[in-house]
Structure 1
Amino acid sequence: MTFSIVARSDDGRMHGVAVASKFLGVGALVPAAEAEVGALATQAYANLAYRPQGLAFLRTGLAAADVVAGLVAADPGRAQRQLGVVGVDGEGASYTGPGCTDWAGGQAGTGWAVQGNILTGPEVLDEMRDAWLGLADRTFAERLLGALAAGDRAGGDRRGRQSAALLVVARGGGYGGGSDVVLDLRVDDHPEPVPELARLLDVHTLLFGRPDPQTLLDLTGDLADEVAVLLGVRGYPDDGSGLDDRLAAWAGVENLEERLVPARIDPVVLAHLRARS
């Protein structure tokens, strides 16, 4: 019912899952990931116990292939299960039980695994693999989504489209540094769930992406004057507080607080302020 990719970033810091299916709310069932531990996808007749059990195995240092072997060996329903696993290093692993509905299969390589069942054909996984390997210059989330989108364009689930999800974890990588969940985006019921997931990723990147230190602009001179005027237009006039304080007040309303840097401004924030004004 599903096609997915599980992977880790080239630097080993991030782990994630991207998945799509003709199934309601696939993101609530298939993906699981833990920072500095690994990621997995359980699908076909998904065994949800694989998620905590698989992460527990990965915490002990088991290789992905051994995690797969341990999970399916103890499962009397393994003939109808499908599973992808990636750990902190080494090869990913994919399992497809002989009872999964055609077309079904999986592929794996260093740090990744793709798998799917009830697909239009093996080309879905071929395209996902090629996209993953060919998008090494993109961010980790973009790379996962790019692989999912390639599978979707190749035909995906032969029953149609309904839901998609993207989960990425990294130690301290979440909102405000207080969580390991970098992003957890879900499209539960939509005629074009993968493009909608891409739209949500764009919004997430705008709001919660961290500023690039190389592009930050000093908030001085003409630029400071412009920002002060724009903030005034938005209802944050010079009331005696500092420009940083007024910018922070506006950014908090716009949910851009993760992009703030004292005495400087992220070009993304500046563009948003200009567009809003």
Structure 2
Amino acid sequence: MKRFDIRFLPILFFFVSYQINAQQVYKDQFAHTFSIVARDKVTGEMAVGVQSHWFSVGSIVSWGKSGVGVVATQSFVNPAYGPEGLSLIEKGTSAKEALDLLVAKDEGKDFRQVAFLDHKGNTAAFTGEKCVASAHHIIGDNFAVQANMMLNDKVVPAMAEAFEKNKDLPLAQRVVKVLLAAQEAGGDIRGKQSAALIVVDGSPAKNVWEDKKIHLRVDDHPTPLVELERLLKVHEAYQFMNNGDLAIEEGDMSKAFAAYNAAEQLFPENLEMKYWKAIAMANNNKLKEALPIFKTIFQKDKNWRELTKRLPKSGLLNISEAQLNTILSL
């Protein structure tokens, strides 16, 4: 009977340990993908943008907190990098120090791809040796772009170039341009399915529900970036509506109608935007100008007429009964 050579024990132990770790990693959720973490040096806003051929990528990859930073964790995802990384940064640890600490204790680090960015613009990224090719990252001035399981090696450089090229755009639009550039360069070798975008402020949010300035997800779509771009435009339109409402409260009608008009230009087919603009006009002695708007809305959907009947009781439409009947007769 042959004796087992104890000199092989370290090798055997390593092999068994590696297999156990690998099996554990393979149980983690996939998010082979491309993403960007970025900061606007002027506004201080920070963002994460991501697309993948995997369902609901935004539910596990993108993390952020106003006044703290943003995180993208992908490949074989360890979601702990998100909350733990942000917690470390919030306590004063830099992006690089925080990432180094978490990578050091992660037994599955060879399968991870992660990027951190803090509110000061410090950026760090890590691509594990076992990430599926093409896998790469680039760290730049106030941004990092990273990707794995890409069709080719052109994707990540195209992302970095797009970020630098679109400096004149607001951060959210700039990030979407980066994602579109990645897809155009080849994108995920498997195709596309979901995308997400979050934007947080450079300063802490006053209330927890105000933490995300933008939080958009496309969980399952044949062209997720096209849909994400559309949703961003809708988001911007509603922001103009909100600005219009605030201007009404301040008594600045000129500013209010400028905001409402900007909203309509972004989302012209939306009846609700037209409707509340007309309500604001009626409430501010501009009923004559509002009537054609009401008429167009009622012709397209009679339920808006029924809603108008109910608004005076709630204090949302403050006009005379005769004026109300004029609207309802349209």
Q: Which moved more, 1:78-87 or 1:115-124?
A: 115-124
TM-fit CA distance, 1:28: 0.6
Residue equivalent to 1:54: 85
Q: 2:96 aligns with which of 34, 42, 65?
A: 65
Is the partner of 2:120 in helix, strand or coil? Answer: coil
CA distance in 2, matches of 1:227, 1:173: 37
Equivalent of 1:200, from 231, 240, 265?
231
Q: Which residue of 1 aligns with 2:288?
A: 225
- 1:173-212 alignment runs, 5 A limit: 179-209=210-240, 211=243
Aligned residues of 1:6 and 1:41 also touching (Cα < 8 A): yes
Q: Quote the offset at 1:50 in angstroms.
A: 0.7
Structure 1 residue 25, shift from structure 2 partner: 0.8
1:107 matched residue in structure 2: 138
Mapped partners of 1:89, 1:38: distance in 2: 8
Paired residue for 2:66, among 16, 32, 35?
Answer: 35
Give me the whole-angstrom Cα distance separating, in 1, the residues matched to 2:85 and 2:99. Answer: 8
How many angstroms apart in 1 are the aligned matches of 2:63 and 2:146? 15
Change (3 A) 1:108 1:215: farther
Asked if residue 21 in structure 1 is aligned to residue 52 in structure 2, the reply is yes
CA 197–173 in structure 1, closer or farther in 2 if over 3 Å, else same: farther
Contact between 2:48 and 2:62, CA under 8 Å: does it hold in 1?
yes
Do the aligned partners of 1:35 and 1:169 also contact (CA within 8 Å) in 2? Answer: yes
Contact kept, 8 Å, 1:91 with 1:108, in 2: the verdict is no
| Structure 2 spans left out of the alignment, 5+ residues | 1-31, 248-253, 259-280, 299-304, 319-329
Distance 1:225 1:111 in 2: 51
When structure 1 is superposed on structure 2, of 122-131 and 31-40 the one drifting more is: 122-131
Q: 1:34 to 1:223 in 2, by over 3 A?
A: same
Gaps of 5+ in 1: 248-276
Instruction: Determine the structure 1 residue equivalent to 2:42.
Output: 11
> Post-superposition shift, 1:206?
1.3
Task: Give the equivalent residue in structure 2 for 1:154.
Answer: 185
Per-residue deviation, 1:65: 1.5
Q: 1:178 to 1:186 in 2, by over 3 A?
A: closer
Contact 2:66 2:205 in 1 (8 A): no
CA 1:83–1:178 in structure 2 vs 1: closer, same or farther (change >3 Å)?
A: closer
Q: Distance in 2 between matches of 1:112 and 1:147?
A: 11
Higher helix share goes to which structure? Answer: 2
Q: Which moved more, 1:21-30 or 1:178-187?
A: 178-187
Asked if structure 2 preserves the Cα contact closer than 8 Å seen for 1:6 and 1:86, the reply is: yes
SS of the residue aligned with 1:191?
coil
In 1, Cα distance between equivalents of 2:243 and 2:204? 16
Give the structure-2-normalised TM-score. Answer: 0.66
Q: What SS class does the counterpart of residue 210 from structure 2 fall into? A: coil
Superposed CA deviations along residues 121-169 of structure 1, whole A, max 9, x for unmatched, are 2311111111111212212111111111111111111111111111112
Shift of 1:61: 2.1
Shift in Å, 1:211: 3.7
Distance in 2 (alpha carbons) for counterparts of 1:216 and 1:122: 48
SS in 2 for 1:66: helix
Deviation, structure 1 residue 238: 11
SS for the counterpart of 1:186 is: strand
The answer to whether the 8 Å contact 1:228/1:237 transfers is: no
Indicate the residue corresponding to 2:152 in structure 1: 121
Structure 1 residue 102 displacement after superposition: 0.6
Aligned pair count reads 245
State the alpha-carbon separation in 2 of the partners of residues 81 and 172 from structure 1.
29
Q: Is the 8 A contact 2:162 2:178 kept in 1?
A: yes
Question: Structure 2 counterpart of 1:127, which letter?
Answer: A
Does 1 or 2 have the higher relative contact order (CA < 8 Å, sep 6+)?
1
* Coordinate RMSD, CA, aligned: 3.1
Q: Which moved more, 1:48-57 or 1:121-130?
A: 121-130
Q: Find the structure with the greater CA-based Rg.
A: 2
Partner of 2:27: none
